[in-house]
A and B are shown apart, each in its own frame.
Chain A
Amino acid sequence: MKPMIALMKRELMNYFYSPVAYVFIVIFLISTVGSTFFLGRFFNSDQAGLEIFFLFHPWLFLFLIPAIGMGLWAEERNSGTIELLFTLPISMLQTVMSKFLSAWIFVGIALILTFPMVITVWYLGEPDNGVMFTSYLGSFLMAGTYLAITCVTSALTRNQVISFILSVIVCLTLVLLGWGVFMDMLNQVFPSWFTDVVSSFSFTTHYNSIRRGIIDSRDLVFFLSIIGGGLVINALILDYKKAS
């Protein structure tokens, strides 16, 4: 446990050493809050709630999360520190988990910094705090799954741009599978049980269900198993090609 904490500490410190972290947080806040007010027309909705705010997260994360995760392994490879990291007395899976967790925590920090939105709706009316809480939880879990996928693509290639594009494509696919428009198209061709199966693989479906204020164990299992699976694949890939 001790080595993992040391690794996570270093990773988190590493984010705040570079201006990239601050730029990321600023862009994160501008895009999440901006989309709520300008795209979502928050004031016109006449609702003291954060539905509109959370509505855009699957789309915004599509670019924000891969941007955070794309360098996770590529940088270690390019600077040669991967050799240092994997000759320290810490197991592969522990290293993978530490790096993932610290990136996830970083995203969590960015998410927490959107708290003025919560204050705003508290000021404007009486929002359902339970729904807000589960929405935040859903958003954080979804960010974790995006991140796990980005970890895998980052381990696949030394090139950060390729890693970014790959993870955007994979995440986009998983978002679209549960998108209303796409599901309508599927419904026209296939029986509805098929559409249900397909959409159950989508982030959108599970995220929307958590956003309604219900924490269903199936949704939790979905997100956590994608994260777990992603990390295991990540470790396997690294084990196979860490020296290349």
Chain B
Amino acid sequence: MIEVDQLTKCYGSFTAVNAISFDVNKGEILGFLGPNGAGKSTTMRMLTSFITPTSGTARIGGKDIITDSIAVRKMVGYLPESAPSYKNMTVREFLNFIAEVRGFSRMEKKEKLGRVIELTSLEKVRYQSIDTLSKGYKQRVGFAQALIHDPPVLILDEPTEGLDPNQKHEVRRLIKQMAAEKVIILSTHVLEEMEALCDRAIIINQGNLVADGSPESLLAHSELYNVVTLTLAKCPDEIMLQNLVALGAVEKVKLDPKGRNNACVMRVYPKQQQNILSEVNHFLAQQNWSVMEIQREKGQMEEVFRKLTLGAGS
């Protein structure tokens, strides 16, 4: 549905987005991650044909974003960062205006407005002027505006920015609900959000694409991925530890000094990030260690993010 081909944007000598390529298919929710100023918004602005790429291009539903931008805009619903709207209009007037510019007839307009207002739960405030609304409602108005023509492609720049946890939940529910029949690209720097919402994530750093894959596969970059954490009632002695390390799949064992109540916390690192839970479990049963807790770590997205965007050092 979306094919991005060597998309590049330069401002003078500064390269904001550097030859990014990726494809997105129908039904996919793609998350854009990256530190501030990494080029997420710039990429989205190019995809919505707000700014013209310096080189490269993208096709949305087969239409080129440069040569066929009007056709692209018809297919795309776009929520710009901080959800701008005409503040002195009421919610209804504003949505009505968007529907009119998108060329809907009187009858269609009524139906579309009703649907989108219901979808984004704006019924209560529809006759209020937008500048009297709270941040959460303003965000929802921006959302409604992007959804009014039921676009096959949704591009959302930080859709949950500045919302309270309930509102965030609501927006995520909305996104998930629509995901099946659409292509959704959203940017965020909230990592849990990406994990909870996206089928696939792209990490951009300084204009370059540094990772592209499912949240699961990104977690594999984490040092802690598939590490087994054990909490023991008392610390095992040296010999017993060496037995553990001697297991075929175990790379190393680290004692964590932070254990509470004299409990001993240790981390068992696997070789090649393989799943060693059953092996460790088997070993523990054999040795008759008294285990209070055992857990296979999934890896930390935050750590992966730092690793990919700051270089391996941290």
A interface residues (Cβ-Cβ under 8 A, vs B): 2-3, 5-7, 9-10, 13-14, 17-18, 79-81, 83-84, 86-91, 239, 242-243
Contact = CB atoms under 8 A, between A and B. Distances in A.
Contacts, number: 71
B52 to A, nearest CB: 8
Contacts of A2: 100, 103
B162 interface: no
B231 interface: no
Contact of A89 (B50, B51, B74, B93): B74
A200 B52 CA distance: 39
Interface string B71-102: 10110101011101111110001000110111
Interface residues on B, range: 20 to 34
Contacts of B84: 79-81, 83-84
A192 B86 CA distance: 53
B51 A242 contact: yes
Interface in B63-77: 70-71, 73-74, 76
Nearest to A7: B101
A83 B51 CA distance: 9
Main secondary structure of the interface of B (DSSP, over half): loop
7 closest A-B pairs by beta carbon, nearest first, are: A6-B100, A80-B84, A89-B73, A83-B80, A3-B101, A89-B74, A87-B48
Interface of B: 45, 48-52, 70-71, 73-74, 76, 78, 80-82, 84-89, 93, 97-98, 100-103, 145
Given A87-B49, A242-B51, 14 more contacts: A9-B100, A10-B89, A13-B89, A17-B88, A80-B80, A80-B82, A81-B86, A83-B84, A86-B50, A87-B73, A87-B80, A88-B73, A88-B101, A91-B70
Contact of B101 (A6, A18, A79, A80): A6
Contacts of A79: 84, 86-87
B86 A87 contact: no
Contact of B86 (A3, A10, A83, A243): A10
Best-buried of A83, A87, A88 by chain B (most CB within 10 Å):
A87
Contacts of B101: 3, 6-7, 88-90
Contacts of A17: 88-89
B100 A3 contact: yes
16 contacts: A6-B97, A9-B100, A14-B86, A14-B88, A17-B89, A79-B87, A80-B82, A80-B84, A83-B84, A84-B80, A87-B49, A87-B80, A88-B98, A90-B101, A239-B52, A243-B51
